[in-house]
Every structure is written in structure tokens, then in C-alpha cells.
Amino acid sequence: MPVNYLIIEDEKLSAERLAGMVSRLFPDFNLINTLDSVKSAVRWLSHNKQPQLAFFDIQLADGLSFEIFEQVSVHFPVVFTTAFNEYAIRAFKVNCIDYLLKPLDEDELKASINKFRAGLSRSGAVEHEAIAMALSQFTNTYKSRFVVKVGEHLRMIGVEEIAMFLSADKSTYIRTLSNRDYGVGFTLEQIENLVDPKHFFRINRKYIISITSIQDIITYSHSRLKLKLPVTCEENILVSRERIDSFKNWLEGMEDKR
């Protein structure tokens, strides 16, 4: 039975070479489309039946292919192709997402597809948290802004505008220094990996706060610390007991202990 697969690659020659290798090794594989950008991939996946397997180049012309997972549900195994060094690849492999290092090797491609056929490759939706972690590991950079929806409009919020991230009612919000809340499509666990740990710290299960938003730190009952921020809060903003030592290290600019 034919296996329908998809290629997302912005280098035409690389896409053609990959398709040719797959065709030679696995004649029963059917290439249903080749896409070259995050935008085109999101549009196509939103309006077509999903493939059984896909090859995603990590760096595309309009961004990283990880961004596709933020905009559309992916319910098929993905093999990433990348020219990043092997140290980054090892970090990415921990997240249980298969990869091929460029230039592609035919034996490695064959082994990867055989793994998929044996059912060893991940099937079903790729975990959003794994993608968030991979994004930070591969780029070695952190988000400088978040895009949020306001009615029918999209707004960009720079990290310098953010006082805190908070979890409430099973959703996650950005609270800006101007005291406005915006829903954001990440969990606090994902945000921890996307923002610079020099500037943001998770003080407890509900809050990640910006160092620039701290106005005062007050000793509180049960060996905790209470933070005063320039925004409205319905409850005391407390650093949990188990995080106090790490919090103090963070304030002193020491290595992140999260």
C-alpha cells in the first residue's frame, strides 16, 4: 500500500535530491507535495488530508519549521533535516523527534524510514513542549516578542513590555507593564524554554515574572518571599519555598538553576 509523504524544504535542489533518494529506496512511497515555507505549509496542512510521513527542513525562507506546529495540528511522524552541528542534533534527539543531518546520507535516510515503517518513529501529534524546547536548543536564542490575537487583529508584544506570564483557568496569559492581559498559545512550561532565563524566572506554579517588573521583595510567612510588581494582582505574588535559593541566585545574575 502506498505511503503518502510530504517534503517541506526551501532549497529546490535539496528537495529534489531527497525525493529522488526516497523514490529509489522505497518505490511505494508517493510524494504528494513539496512546500517551501512556513506560510505555505500551514496553508496546505489546514486544507488538505495530512500525509503519513513528512520531511521538514528546519530553516525555511520565512522562519523555522518549528513554527508550523504553533499554527496547525500535526498528526503524523516528522523527520527533520538540518545542517546544524552534531551537538545540537544530540540535544534535539532527546525530544524523540527523528532527524537527518545534511548533506543527506542514503543509508541514514533508509534507516530512518525503516524506523518509521517499524512503528518506532513517533506517531500522532508531536508534543508542543518538545517543539518549544527544540526551538530554544537549536537557535540558542530566545523570543524577543509574542504575537497575540486581539479581536480580529494580531498584535506583537515585545518581551520588554511584559511584567509576567500567568496561568489561570487552564489558559496562559501575558500581563504587560501597562496592566493588560493577553492570551498566549503556550503553557508556562513551554514559555520557560522560550524566554531568556536572565530576564524571566518562574517563581511558582502560576507565575513567570520579569526581573524589570520587580519593585520590592518582602519576607513573608513560612519562609517565602512576596514580590511587589507595578501591575494589578488578585493575590499575593509569592516565591515558593523550594524556589527561593534559585530565585536569589537569579537576582544575583548567577547561572540559572531551573
Asked, for residue 43, whether it belongs to a domain, the answer is yes
pLDDT band for position 258 (50/70/90)?
A: very low
Q: What is the pLDDT of residues 111-163, one digit of tens each?
A: 989 988 887 544 444 555 555 555 555 555 678 888 888 888 889 999 999 99
Show the domain range for 168: 145-251
For the domain that residue 89 is a member of, what is the CATH number? Answer: 3.40.50.2300
Which residue, 118, 139, 160, sits at the end of a domain? Answer: 139
Percent with pLDDT over 70 in the chain: 84
Q: Which residues contact 108 (CB under 8 A, 6 or more apart)?
A: 100, 101
Least confident window among 1-15, 137-151, 225-239: 137-151
Q: Report the CATH number at residue 154.
A: 2.40.50.40
pLDDT at 154: 86
Q: Which uninterrupted H or E stretch holds 80?
A: strand 78-82
- Is there a domain that residue 258 lies in? no
**Amino acid at site 31:** L
161 or 170: which carries more pLDDT confidence? 161
CA-based max dimension of the chain: 69
Same domain, 105 and 183: no
* Whether residue 60 sits in one domain with residue 168: no
The pLDDT-based confidence of 100 (bands split at 50, 70, 90) is: confident
The whole-number pLDDT of residue 99 equals: 78
Q: What is the pLDDT of residue 187?
A: 87
Same domain, 168 and 234: yes
Please name the residues in contact with 20: beta carbons below 8 A apart, sequence gap of 6 or more: none
- Residue 74: pLDDT band (50, 70, 90) is confident
Do 112 and 153 have their domain in common? no
Q: Which of 123, 133, 148, 110 is nearest to 50 (CA)?
A: 123
126 and 162 in a single domain? The answer is no
Domain count, the chain: 2
Mean pLDDT for the chain?
A: 85
Q: Are residues 179 and 108 in the same domain?
A: no
Residue 203 grid coordinates: 517563581
Q: Is the pLDDT confidence value at 14 over 80?
A: yes
Global pTM reads: 0.51
Q: Which amino acid makes up residue 189?
A: E
Cell numbers placing 14: 535539496
CA atoms within 13 A on the CB side of 21: 19
